[in-house]
Structure 1
Amino acid sequence: MTRRNGSVENASALGDAFSARAGVFSDKALLDVGYVPGSERIVARNEEIRRLATALNPAVEGEAPSNAFLYGKTGTGKSLCARYATRRIVEASAETGVDVGRVVVDCSQDDTETRAVRATVRGLNDPAVTGIAVPETGLGRSRYYDLLWEVLDARFDVAFVVLDEVDCLDGTDFLMQLSRAAEAKKLDRCSVGVVGVSNKVRYRDRLEERVKSSLQEREIVFTPYDREALSEILRSRLAAFDDGALEADVVVECASLAAEEHGDARKAINLLRHSGELAASEGADRIAVDHVRRAKSVAERDRMRELIDGGTIQQKATLLAITSLALVEKTRTFKTSEVYAAYEDICAESGLETLSKRRVHDLLREWEFLDVLEITRTGGGRARGSYLQHHLLEDPSVIRSAFDGSERFAGVGFTAGSTTTTWSNI
């Protein structure tokens, strides 16, 4: 009987976890990462939008627009402004009788030339209008290009191809094809405008001179948001909460923490959402500054977990190596030889194949590209030559928490000096 009562009590307690709560949210979707706000919620980017609109505006009269590339760190509004400006041009052109099309290609997903051109033509095509069928599979790259030119000339006077996260695209041939389509007589009627969006300000340096010459793009740099801009952005999302659900200083605290560290609007919004979820889970009817401070570590962990989940097992091993070193040595800067030694130990304990030092260096460069590491070359003093230093930009304890639950690296340890460290209990 006692056991049954215990089960009933446990079920009752669990029932609270599954039952609906009044909580603090009224429209939580406003805080989702994938939510695209309307123009009334685009703040602090008027100058960038004006410059982009100026580059694209010739399309309204049916003329060829300028190509434009938007650069800046994650969460600075690049993609949002690119989508907004191209949509407004499409709407404005309809009033002048000009047919303007737009497609947004996510190059982090469609990361090869074939995938990118296929996504572009499928996004622009309307079989009911063109009579053209574009299959998902079964065609070669050149055939997809042929279909793209057919669709463009059949439907549009001007078309915008927005390449989001263009730095993820393998190679630059797609950029060449788009920018030289008219010159190469691929198109008879339609003009193409390319809008590239990249988190890497140095992306243009990777382009071949012939691509730069062909694009002749206008560059627009998005600087990180300051505290005032982040406060304005967060206030534009307050409809996500019930009236009176936030204490007075919550928005300012979220904006201040985000501005001091990264100036990333997505992270600031995510922090506000986590604060609300923490308050709701505790049964509070108001979000306090304390909720924000405690939620910050959760938001950082989730962001890092997304980066880690997107990496290969070998990428994870290299990041684990420098993170483990940082936790033991209480510093964040190490030579390549030190990182490689830790990496070898991790591979040995996890049963992972050990790659060459050159390949590990390449993997570390990939973490640098994601702004997790900073790699610099420095002199070692007289007769010692120069060497690379790898500086961990992220908090190693946050990275460690993001690895929690990893089956492959559970219990993995290494020897640092005279200290043996086990990953599971760092």
Structure 2
Amino acid sequence: MVSDGTEDGVSSQSIKSRLEEGTQNTVFRDKSLLNPDRVIDEDRIVGRDQQLDDVINSLQPALRGSRPPNLLLYGPSGTGKSLIINAVCQQIEALAVNQGDRFGVIDINCQTISTHDRAVYRLVESAAESAGVEPEVPQTGVSTDHKLSRLYEILDEEFDSGIIILDEIDLLTGRTRDQRSEPGYSKLLYQLSRTAQVGEIDSRISVAALTNDPRFMEDLDGRAESSFNPEDVTFPDYDANELRSILTYRRDAYRDGVLGDDVVPLSAAHAAQDHGDARKAIDLFRKAGELADRHGDNTVLEDHVREAQEEAARDRTLTQMRGLSAQKKLALYSAAVVSVFDDQLDAVPNTLGYDVYQYLADLVDIDQKSRDTYLRYLSESETYNFVVSKTEGHGYGSGVHKEYSFVDDPKTVMETLEKGIRMDEITDNKELIESVVDAQVSEFLER
């Protein structure tokens, strides 16, 4: 039981009153507008006129009793692929109803689907939900062919036409150690695109594959490539002006008068620097408001955007680094502290990083690895896009060194790693570590 009185001089609110206060004192009017996956009104679609025209023209035959072509939508993450295809399909679905036609939208995201069999079952679930029927097949215990047969049965009996949307299709590789084996996405595309061609179903069903990989078609099996044979729609990065327009058209997610003048342009600018990703721009725009709510502020300001950007960078880095071993984290941390505490070098030479690594390994009582192993850890960090490297010479007698710079803010990396492994000895000795870095840098420059 939660008391409404006071205890030890501290006022205690009920759970109900605290929840009600949280819904009343907020800067948001309609927060759902800042969900990047929401299918928004067409007048909010910005910077994608050509792509919108291409998808409309490709899918329009569905309203004329013909089967639309298959589509391949490709471009970087957050460039509007899902937004455009879903917005157009939503309108086709509504127009088809007015014509007495049954148009089905069957869509799955392949990001979390590990096998071809599971992808087929997810398609059965999506088709059944769209049709308002039961899947009638279990997830396990029956063959993939049996699930495919049920999918075809639903498509044929419940829809006159439709589209199967396979988002992030390139991630459906399947579980196989044999690199010569056909990837799951190749097999699935062949089966789905071949179905209508060989007359297994009468419904006019086309397939739309969405991918970040512009070379996706090169990895398809020859049969799948020939059968799928899509029309391509390319989605480039958004620029800063387009991102600003996208956020401007979602300003009504907030209450009137709560947004500072710099919030939209600053959110757009940060996202433009991060490969023009509209999802990240919208997430940042929303997160700034959440931080204002959290701090009890009545307005959303530039400082909230900057804090949201720092949190996003920290969260992204933490997620990526979570799977590293303690040794790999310590190797990366040694480079990060040099980058943070040193103001004389533009990048971290590997020899200097290794010297600091040895000191830190003794400090936290972890076995020291060899220089070659340390360099291998940093090379792995480069493949994870934590760091980038270049080879530089430092004058006569100093030799040539590989130097590392951080993709994200090195201070964020340092703080993230401190939370990720047993770093009590490190966090308690920051000033000592900084002095060690200064000494090692000076010694390096004197070599």
Taking structure 1 as the reference length, the TM-score comes to 0.75
Matches within 5 A, 1:136-215: 136-170=139-173, 171=183, 172-183=186-197, 185=198, 187-215=200-228
| 1:180 to partner: Cα distance | 1.5
Cα distance in 2 between the residues matched to 1:319 and 1:202: 33
Q: Is residue 123 of structure 2 the alignment partner of residue 124 of structure 1?
A: no
Query: Does the C-alpha gap of structure 1 residues 296 and 144 become closer, same or farther in structure 2, counting only changes over 3 Å?
Result: same
Q: Is residue 122 of structure 2 the alignment partner of residue 84 of structure 1?
A: no
Which of residues 282, 289, 292 in structure 2 aligns to 1:279? 292
Cα distance in 2 between the residues matched to 1:197 and 1:259: 22
Q: 2:336–2:413: 8 Å Cα contact kept in structure 1?
A: no
Cα distance in 2 between the residues matched to 1:374 and 1:199: 22
Query: Does the C-alpha gap of structure 1 residues 257 and 215 become closer, same or farther in structure 2, counting only changes over 3 Å?
Result: same
Query: Does the C-alpha gap of structure 1 residues 401 and 128 become closer, same or farther in structure 2, counting only changes over 3 Å?
Result: same
Q: 2:335–2:348: 8 Å Cα contact kept in structure 1?
A: no
Identity %: 30
Q: Is residue 384 of structure 2 the alignment partner of residue 367 of structure 1?
A: yes
Equivalent residue number for residue 250 of structure 1 = 263
Cα distance in 2 between the residues matched to 1:130 and 1:23: 40
Cα distance in 2 between the residues matched to 1:334 and 1:225: 35
Cα distance in 2 between the residues matched to 1:63 and 1:319: 57
Q: 1:153–1:188: 8 Å Cα contact kept in structure 2?
A: yes
Cα distance in 2 between the residues matched to 1:70 and 1:128: 25
Equivalent residue number for residue 226 of structure 1 = 239
Q: 2:162–2:206: 8 Å Cα contact kept in structure 1?
A: yes
Taking structure 2 as the reference length, the TM-score comes to 0.72
Equivalent residue number for residue 9 of structure 1 = 10
Q: 2:76–2:235: 8 Å Cα contact kept in structure 1?
A: yes
Cα distance in 2 between the residues matched to 1:178 and 1:96: 26
Q: 2:131–2:158: 8 Å Cα contact kept in structure 1?
A: no
Identify the range of structure 1 (146-155 vs 32-41) with the bigger mean alpha-carbon deviation. Answer: 32-41
Q: 1:68–1:196: 8 Å Cα contact kept in structure 2?
A: yes
| 1:164 to partner: Cα distance | 1.1
**1:229-270 alpha-carbon deviations (Å, 9 max, x no partner):** 111111222222221101223212222232233311121122
Cα distance in 2 between the residues matched to 1:195 and 1:377: 44
Cα distance in 1 between the residues matched to 2:131 and 2:266: 52
**1:114-164 alpha-carbon deviations (Å, 9 max, x no partner):** 111111122112698878723233222111112122222222233311111
Equivalent residue number for residue 105 of structure 2 = 102
**1:318-339 alpha-carbon deviations (Å, 9 max, x no partner):** 677546534436766889xx99
| 1:177 to partner: Cα distance | 0.8
Equivalent residue number for residue 292 of structure 1 = 305
Letter in 1 for 2:91: R
Equivalent residue number for residue 66 of structure 1 = 69
Matches within 5 A, 1:29-40: 29-40=32-43
Q: 1:334–1:391: 8 Å Cα contact kept in structure 2?
A: no
Query: Does the C-alpha gap of structure 1 residues 391 and 293 become closer, same or farther in structure 2, counting only changes over 3 Å?
Result: closer
| 1:399 to partner: Cα distance | 3.8
Quick check: which has more Rg, 1 or 2?
Answer: 2
Q: Is residue 250 of structure 2 the alignment partner of residue 237 of structure 1?
A: yes
Q: 2:58–2:69: 8 Å Cα contact kept in structure 1?
A: yes
Equivalent residue number for residue 385 of structure 1 = none
Equivalent residue number for residue 118 of structure 2 = 115
Cα distance in 2 between the residues matched to 1:143 and 1:360: 46
Q: Is residue 79 of structure 2 the alignment partner of residue 56 of structure 1?
A: no
Q: 1:61–1:96: 8 Å Cα contact kept in structure 2?
A: no
Cα distance in 2 between the residues matched to 1:373 and 1:55: 42
Letter in 1 for 2:410: P
Letter in 2 for 1:9: V
Identify the range of structure 1 (278-287 vs 125-134) with the bigger mean alpha-carbon deviation. Answer: 125-134
Cα distance in 2 between the residues matched to 1:317 and 1:46: 50
SS in 1 for 2:196: coil
Q: 1:69–1:217: 8 Å Cα contact kept in structure 2?
A: yes
